[in-house]
Chain A
Amino acid sequence: MTAQYHFAAALLQPDRAVPRGLVNPDGAPATKRFDVYRNNVAVSLSEALETAFPVTRRLVGDEFFRAMAGLFLRAHPPRSPLMMVYGAELPGFIDGFAPAASLPYLSDIARLEQALRDSYHAADAPRFDPGSLSALSPGQLETLHLSAAPATRLVRSAHPILGIWSANSGGAAPMSGPQSVLITRPGFDPAPHLLTEAQADIAAALFAGATLAEAADDDATLTATLGMLFSTGALTQRTTP
């Protein structure tokens, strides 16, 4: 194994011996000096997670979050130099993290925060113009495919995740039942919107490529859902037919 293999392994495993050949100015083996690098790695990754998942952190407290982050970052070190994507596996990690089992909604809160971060960095795209629909015949409308904007996300949960998230980030939303959250980014700031379960079913189908006719058999719900998607900027103009 190579020198950097041993260095990297010792960085992530605090109980592993400091690699040979690393020395203090007097030639003695470096120990506390190696710990500077260990500390830089663990603290910087933990801080990246704290930045990305502020409500998840608030729900469990700083001490719990840091302990969980310490375990997570050793099990899932980054695969990319882009800290803006680090932590995508945290929601799944929380699902299997026994100490968090008393907060069954925690992983979905992390999914919501992950989706908000994804949305923030997604590509800009022209907003869909609902006026363009007036030129279509009823037949064309039925077979129409709509496109979610690159920054649009849909997060569905068995828990009232928007209520919990809002209460912990200075807002307010209903605090009961399963909740489906549509995230859109009309400008630069992602915004969450609560959908009914029926609306979320339709939105999910449309985002997956269904036509209007395939996505809904109830016109009233379809109309309400489309109104929501139009007004929140969830859709973009299709560039290809």
Chain B
Amino acid sequence: MFDTDPSRLPARPGVGYKPRHYADILADPGAVGWLEVHAENYMGDGGRPLAQLRALADHFPISVHGVGLSIGGEGPLDSDHLARLQRLCDWLNPASFSEHLAWSSHGDAFLNDLLPLPYTKGTLTRVADHIDQVQDALGRRMLLENPSSYLAFADSTWSETDFLAELTRRTGCGLLLDVNNVFVSATNLGLSPQAYIDAFPVHAVGEIHLGGHDEDADETGAPLLIDSHGRAVADPVWTLLDRTLARTGPMPILIEWDNDVPDWPVLAAEAARARAALHRIPA
């Protein structure tokens, strides 16, 4: 069954689980050390999704990754949704729970995207309160993921890395460092991705994400990268991963591929590339 402790994510490659890969994963269990699922896809009452997840959890540590809690929202957290997360975590006892520094609901509308927020004293207090509420409800420490940004807020008074560092200090939460998001945001906002990694509060990192992005340009011709999760991880992101791992040490690394999902060997090859990066970490 397990060659690692199911209660924590191992410092090995994992992949975002897609049902089409179910048989491939069970036939090739050495390819990945753990799996991540989107919480919202496993909030039905029963049927195949929950049965498959239960079966996978017998073989792999599972990371539950929420995409709908709207932690950065102006309004209160959706208590129904928080209760659903609690139920899922109680049922599955996953190795990790993570969510995003973003908002996705306003009023009673859910917008199905990870939307940006300005980094100010006010948003810091609000996000910290929401993280406290989540950690209290779930009875566990959560990881918060850095977003991919397409634009900036004139109102922001904090850098993203300082904002995240202060959130971990106030709430005790950990961080999920998405290295592709760093590259996308830095390129889009005219910042240095290397400087971002160098400033990141790495002591709090519990997981790393990698995914593919698309290349576009804005109306001025400036590069505009889109966090599409629809292709292989770009070479400069792999290079940035090496710089990241040199600071964090060995970490669980997730390959996210959510659109135009490839056949299993393609995804397994991305996982193998992440394994090679883990082996390259300087002593």
Contact = CB atoms under 8 A, between A and B. Distances in A.
A16 interface: no
A210 interface: no
Given A22-B151, A48-B112, A36 B103 contact: no
A3 B74 CA distance: 9
B90 to A, nearest CB: 17
Given A23-B154, A81-B40, A188 B110 contact: no
Interface in A15-34: 21-28, 30-34
Q: On chain B, which size bracket covers the interface? A: 35 or more
Given A7-B115, A40-B113, A33 B188 contact: yes
B153 interface: yes
A189 B47 CA distance: 8
Interface in B24-72: 40-41, 43-49, 51, 67-70
B188 A25 contact: yes
B105 interface: yes
A185 interface: yes
Contact of A121 (B44, B113, B116): B44
B155 A21 contact: yes
A13 interface: no
B253 to A, nearest CB: 25
A65 interface: no
A19 B219 CA distance: 17
B155 A8 contact: no
B48 A30 contact: no
A41 interface: yes
A81 B81 contact: yes
Nearest to A185: B47
Tell me the interface secondary structure of chain B in the complex. loop
Nearest to A117: B44
Interface stretch (B162-170, B198-206, B220-228): B220-228
Interface stretch (A72-80, A91-99, A213-221): A72-80
A78 B226 CA distance: 24
A11 interface: yes
Interface in B207-242: 218-220, 222, 224, 226
A24 B222 contact: yes
A24 B152 CA distance: 6
A82 interface: yes
Interface string B108-132: 1111110111100000000000000
A106 B115 CA distance: 35
Contacts of A26: 190, 220, 222
Contacts of B46: 121-125, 150-151
Contact of B110 (A7, A34, A77, A150): A77
A122 B113 contact: no
A84 B87 CA distance: 17
Contact of A77 (B45, B111, B155): B111
A37 B147 CA distance: 13
Interface residues of A, number: 47
Given A23-B151, A30-B151, A84 B111 contact: no
A120 B49 CA distance: 9
A122 B45 contact: yes
A12 to B, nearest CB: 8
A45 interface: yes
Interface in A120-143: 120-125
B196 interface: no
Contacts of A30: 150-152, 218
A217 to B, nearest CB: 35
A121 B111 contact: no
A44 interface: yes
Nearest to A9: B106
Interface in B122-161: 150-155
| Chain A CB within 10 A, most for which of B41, B78, B112 | B112
Contacts of B43: 82, 84
Contact of B47 (A4, A36, A120): A120
B281 interface: no
A33 B112 contact: no
A185 B46 CA distance: 11
17 contacts: A3-B118, A4-B103, A7-B106, A8-B107, A11-B113, A11-B115, A23-B151, A23-B154, A24-B222, A25-B190, A26-B190, A33-B150, A33-B151, A36-B224, A82-B43, A124-B47, A151-B47
Interface of B: 40-41, 43-49, 51, 67-70, 73-74, 78, 81, 103-113, 115-118, 150-155, 188-190, 218-220, 222, 224, 226
Please list the 3 inter-chain residue pairs (A to B) with the smallest Cβ-Cβ separation, ordered nearest first.
Answer: A81-B68, A121-B44, A25-B190
